[in-house]
Homo-oligomer: A and B are copies of this chain.
Amino acid sequence: MNRPNIVILGAGYGGIMTAVNLQKKISPEEANITLVNKHDYHYQTTWLHENAAGTLHHDRTRISIKDVIDFNKIKFIQDTVESIDPEKKVVKLEDGELQYDYLVIGLGFESATFGIEGLKEHAFSIQNINSARLIRDHIEYNFAQYNIEEDGQDLITIIVGGAGFTGIEFVAEVANRVPELCQEYDVPREKVRIINVEAGPTALAGFDPELVEYAMNRLEEKGVEFKLGTMIKKVNEEGIVVEKDEEQEEIKSKNVIWAAGVTGNSIVQESGFETNRGRVPVRGDLRTPDYDDVFVVGDCAVIMNPETERPYPPTAQIAIQMADTVAHNLKQMLSGSDELEGFEPNIQGTVASLGHTDAIGVVFDDKKLFGRSASVMKKAIDNRYLMKLGGLGLLLKKGKLDMYH
């Protein structure tokens, strides 16, 4: 009874899909499989911006691990990973240690603050269920204070740092949420400011200019103010200081949300793995450069796009596909084969949501989508994932089934 131990760290897209794949491919006689996660639920990181804006309840976004993992096949430990020792093959948890023969690291992202003064202390970032819920409640609480305070403009000024994919998706939800907040808290809509600050020259960098223009127009119609080519220099208790063309401006706000950059979980780098800007430059078979028994999936890994010679952006889509490769390769290794599969991302499309019924995106390489059809595509992608993760039952429970309205 000397079965090898497979340990999966993290139940994000990459980790949970690796576990789901393994429980289909590998029998309990072949290996002991353990999944470690901080919470007893998985969540869809790509929906967190809706929870943070308050347009979707966080219970829709999270999925009980017991609903998708068969605990007869996979042992689940709810604990927090503190460090990994790849030489001794040991994972140190807050409440214990785990010995592994094969390790899958899926520890996700953390916010990158690029050294901006005060950002970490005074800005929120959308990282997980707890922080998304806190942002929702923080904004609500500030709106609730508006009619108590003498001058409460800063309470109803919402600043979003970053007009990339996440920044735009969040701003769009906020723009949809603000009219509801105004009604709930007796705040005149015209007093509320939603400001999106982006250091680069354009919103949604990398998207087709026509799509970017559509998105910005739609958001401006809903009252979003864009400040492009504008750096956030400082964040403090009062608000932010921005700089454009060497001119500084102070904007008072109690609601500063940073949505501009993420990097791999710092535990990976601190555990001594080779990293590039916080992510492990994995081999083609998704193992780390130095360790044959350690795979990395999702946001902790970086892979290059040979066509553009730049890294693929870390997305849910790629993390889910990586989980297929990792599960396949683990099965091969358990069988004593050294024929491991190389990972090849298959980018089927990229759609950014602009609220419940609006979106922009590209599918099938170069087909541009706007508005309702893009929104339907976005929901279809999300629903397909739920189907893959937990079958029809999960899709019916958590899916976005109101696709056409």
Contact = CB atoms under 8 A, between A and B. Distances in A.
A144 interface: yes
Contact of A137 (B133, B141, B186): B141
How many copies of this chain? 2
A170 to B, nearest CB: 18
Contact of A130 (B138, B140, B141, B148): B148
Nearest to A132: B144
Interface in A134-191: 134, 136-138, 140-141, 144-145, 147-148, 185-186
A83 interface: no
Contacts of A131: 148
Contacts of A144: 130, 133-134, 136-138
Contact of A185 (B133, B185, B186): B133
A182 to B, nearest CB: 13
A147 to B, nearest CB: 5
A178 B126 CA distance: 26
A46 B405 CA distance: 41
Contacts of A186: 130
A107 to B, nearest CB: 19
A141 to B, nearest CB: 4
A141 B155 CA distance: 15
A76 B197 CA distance: 44
- Identify the 4 closest CB pairs spanning chains A and B, nearest first: A137-B144, A141-B141, A130-B147, A137-B141
Nearest to A136: B144
Interface in A322-379: none
A142 to B, nearest CB: 9
Nearest to A185: B133
20 contacts: A130-B144, A130-B147, A130-B148, A130-B186, A131-B148, A133-B144, A133-B185, A134-B141, A134-B144, A134-B145, A134-B148, A136-B144, A137-B137, A137-B140, A137-B141, A137-B144, A138-B141, A138-B144, A140-B140, A140-B141
